[in-house]
Structure 1
Amino acid sequence: MVRTRLYRNGVLAEKGFPIAEVSDHVSDPRNVIWFDLCSPTPADLGVIAEELGLHELAVEDVLNDHQRPKLDVYDSHLFLTVYGVHLDDGILDPVEISVFVTPNALVTVRENAHFDIDEVVRRWDGNGRLAEHGVSFLLHGLLDVVVDGHFELIQEFDGMVEELENELFSGDLGNKEMQRRTFGMRKNMVGFRRAVLPMREVVNSLIRRDLHIVGPAMAPYYQDVYDHALRVAEWADSLRELIGNIRETHLTQQGFHMNEIMKKVTSWAAIIAVPTMITGFYGQNVPYPGAGQAWGFWTSTLLVVAVSATLYAAFKKRDWL
């Protein structure tokens, strides 16, 4: 599916036109073009590259998945790689978005349809007064949606980590479930940091004056995106450390619980050893005091009970039982 838009002199003039007409519109400096490709074929990218004069290395990066978020500068255009992120059944699902930026055209190439491009369009329509700034306006709307998505997800992660902390000390989860959830959170956070941390460099590089992309009027808006990206990166580092602390605390709890079990087992073994020793002694086939008499039986029985009770009281006082 191909989405197209044409802005002329800062006003939305046309949308939904065939992609074959892009080259005709781009030739007019008054026009600013945006079109979006979702899961395009190499042949589709080849046509676009020829129409806009895109560098072959940039096109190659689009075809090779899992690029690092970055900004590449070529003679006739810029090339960006960013990631939209969301959770799919509790698992992080990053969507790679490749962006070509020319003086009067913005091309977005999505890895799949899991990134909501309609939200970007709504963001543009909601800030139509800035459309006069051309490609800078379109690129800001895209990056704003991407970074806002990062911010929403890090808030969700923060809630999940807080819930995990509460369950850690309440003991509601078993060891296997706690380990599974901690490992899943840690894995999601690793993928999240890989997708969002480089965004600071990407946005900061766009603000550079020598690129001539962000003018003075749009600079505050890009600075706002940069501040959000910086906050997300710092928040992600904090949550990563918290998840590590939760894992270490859980392991410490397991060790402490094992020590408690060992103390109880040892205490009971000591208590059981006393009657075993006494009855074993009186069970030998040799004469002993009170053998064959009632007072001998009661003496050994009382001795077993008294010593066992004494040991039980001593262990209970030390909180070993």
Structure 2
Amino acid sequence: MVRTRLYREGVLVAEGFPIAEVSDHVADPGNVVWFDLCAPTADDLGCIAEELGLHTLAVEDVFHERQRPKVDVYDGHLFVAAYWLYQEGHRLHTVEIDMFLTANALVTVRENEHFDIDQVTARWDASGSLAKNGVAFLLYGLLDYVVDGHYELVERLDEEVEALEEQLFEERPMSRLDARQMFTLRKNMVGLRKVAGPMREVVNTLFRRDLHVVTPEMTPYYQDLYDHVLRVAEWIDNLRDLVANLREAQLSQQGFRLNEIMKKLTGWAAVIAVPTMITGFYGQNVPYPGFGTSAGFWWSSIIIVAASGLLYLAFKKRDWL
């Protein structure tokens, strides 16, 4: 599915027109054209590259999976790569969004439909007064939506970390499922950091004056976008450190519980050892005091109970049982 829009002097004048008309509209410097491609073929992109004069390497980058978010500068246009993330269950999935920028055209190429381009167009319509800034306005709305998605995702990850933090100090020990969730959470943070961290370089590169991308009127908006990118990156780093500390605390708590169990087992073993010693000693084939009488049996029983009770009280006082 192909989406197209035509702005003239900051006003949306047409949309949904065929891509074949793009070259005619781009020829007029007063026009700004946007069109979107979702999972295009090499032939589809080749036709666009020929009409807009896109570099071969930039076109090839669209089909190279898992590349780093970046800005590549070519003669006559820029190539920008970014990633949208969405969560299914406890796992994160990425959608690559590639952008070609010319003086008066923006081409977006989405990996699949998981990136909702309708949300981006809704943002453009909500800020129509800025449309006179052309490509800078369109690019800002798109990147702002991507970064806001990163921000919302890191908020959800923060809530998951807080839930694990509260669960860590409950009486019920963490199960294998909880440990797996912690591992998945840390893995998600690493994945989010890979795509959100480089966005600092992306936005910072767009500020370069020789590129003539950010207009003076759009500069405050791009600065706000850069601030959001920094907040997301710092938040991710803080959460990664917190998860690492939670893991260390969990291991320390497991060691503490194991010491408590060993302490109790050792204490009960000492209590049981006393009657075993007494009964084993009187089990010798030699006469002992009270041998063959009921008094001897009762005295040995009293000694066993008294000695075991004293050991129990001594261990309990030291919190060994």
- TM-score computed with the length of structure 1 as normaliser: 0.98
Q: Which position in structure 1 is the counterpart of 2:310?
A: 310
Q: Which position in structure 2 is the counterpart of 1:281?
A: 281
Whole-angstrom distance in 1 between the partners of 2:285 and 2:264: 34
* Corresponding residue SS for 1:320: coil
**For each residue in 1:252-307, what CA deviation from the matched residue of structure 2 results, as whole angstroms up to 9, or x when unmatched?**
00000000000001011111111011111112222222111111101111111011
Task: Give yes or no for contact 1:96–1:111 (8 Å, CA) kept in 2.
Answer: yes
Q: Which position in structure 2 is the counterpart of 1:138?
A: 138
Whole-angstrom distance in 2 between the partners of 1:93 and 1:44: 26
Q: Which position in structure 2 is the counterpart of 1:233?
A: 233
Q: Which position in structure 2 is the counterpart of 1:87?
A: 87
Whole-angstrom distance in 1 between the partners of 2:114 and 2:93: 9
Gaps of 5+ in 1: none
Whole-angstrom distance in 1 between the partners of 2:172 and 2:164: 10
Letter in 2 for 1:192: L
Whole-angstrom distance in 2 between the partners of 1:307 and 1:120: 80
Q: Which position in structure 1 is the counterpart of 2:22?
A: 22
**For each residue in 1:82-121, what CA deviation from the matched residue of structure 2 results, as whole angstroms up to 9, or x when unmatched?**
1111211121112111111111110111111111111100
Q: Which position in structure 2 is the counterpart of 1:170?
A: 170
Letter in 1 for 2:199: M
Q: What is the correspondence of 1:79-118 to structure 2 with a 5 Å cutoff?
A: 79-118=79-118
Q: Which position in structure 2 is the counterpart of 1:42?
A: 42
Q: Shift of residue 18 of structure 1?
A: 1.1
Whole-angstrom distance in 2 between the partners of 1:77 and 1:234: 31
Task: Give yes or no for contact 1:168–1:178 (8 Å, CA) kept in 2.
Answer: no
Letter in 1 for 2:83: Y
What RMSD in Å do the two structures reach over aligned CA positions? 1.0
Whole-angstrom distance in 1 between the partners of 2:8 and 2:211: 23
* Corresponding residue SS for 2:113: coil
Q: Shift of residue 39 of structure 1?
A: 1.0
Q: Shift of residue 77 of structure 1?
A: 0.6
Whole-angstrom distance in 2 between the partners of 1:173 and 1:285: 50
Q: Which position in structure 2 is the counterpart of 1:209?
A: 209
**For each residue in 1:163-197, what CA deviation from the matched residue of structure 2 results, as whole angstroms up to 9, or x when unmatched?**
11011112456331221111011000000000101
Q: Which position in structure 2 is the counterpart of 1:60?
A: 60
* Corresponding residue SS for 2:306: helix
1:189 aligns with 2:210: no
Q: Shift of residue 14 of structure 1?
A: 0.6
Q: Which position in structure 2 is the counterpart of 1:257?
A: 257
Q: Which position in structure 1 is the counterpart of 2:9?
A: 9
Task: Give yes or no for contact 1:200–1:229 (8 Å, CA) kept in 2.
Answer: yes
* Corresponding residue SS for 1:93: strand
Whole-angstrom distance in 1 between the partners of 2:127 and 2:230: 23
**For each residue in 1:40-65, what CA deviation from the matched residue of structure 2 results, as whole angstroms up to 9, or x when unmatched?**
11111111111111111111111011
**For each residue in 1:210-247, what CA deviation from the matched residue of structure 2 results, as whole angstroms up to 9, or x when unmatched?**
11011111111111100110111111111110010111
Q: Which position in structure 1 is the counterpart of 2:299?
A: 299
Q: What is the correspondence of 1:120-131 to structure 2 with a 5 Å cutoff?
A: 120-131=120-131
Whole-angstrom distance in 2 between the partners of 1:171 and 1:305: 33
Say if 1:172 and 1:92 are closer, same or farther in 2 by CA, change over 3 A: farther
How many residue pairs get aligned? The number is 321
The answer to which of 31-40 and 257-266 deviates more is 31-40
Letter in 2 for 1:306: A
Letter in 1 for 2:165: E
Whole-angstrom distance in 2 between the partners of 1:225 and 1:53: 29
Whole-angstrom distance in 2 between the partners of 1:235 and 1:67: 23
Say if 1:153 and 1:171 are closer, same or farther in 2 by CA, change over 3 A: farther
Whole-angstrom distance in 2 between the partners of 1:200 and 1:180: 31
Say if 1:45 and 1:172 are closer, same or farther in 2 by CA, change over 3 A: farther
Q: Identity over aligned residues, as a percent?
A: 65
Q: Which position in structure 2 is the counterpart of 1:69?
A: 69
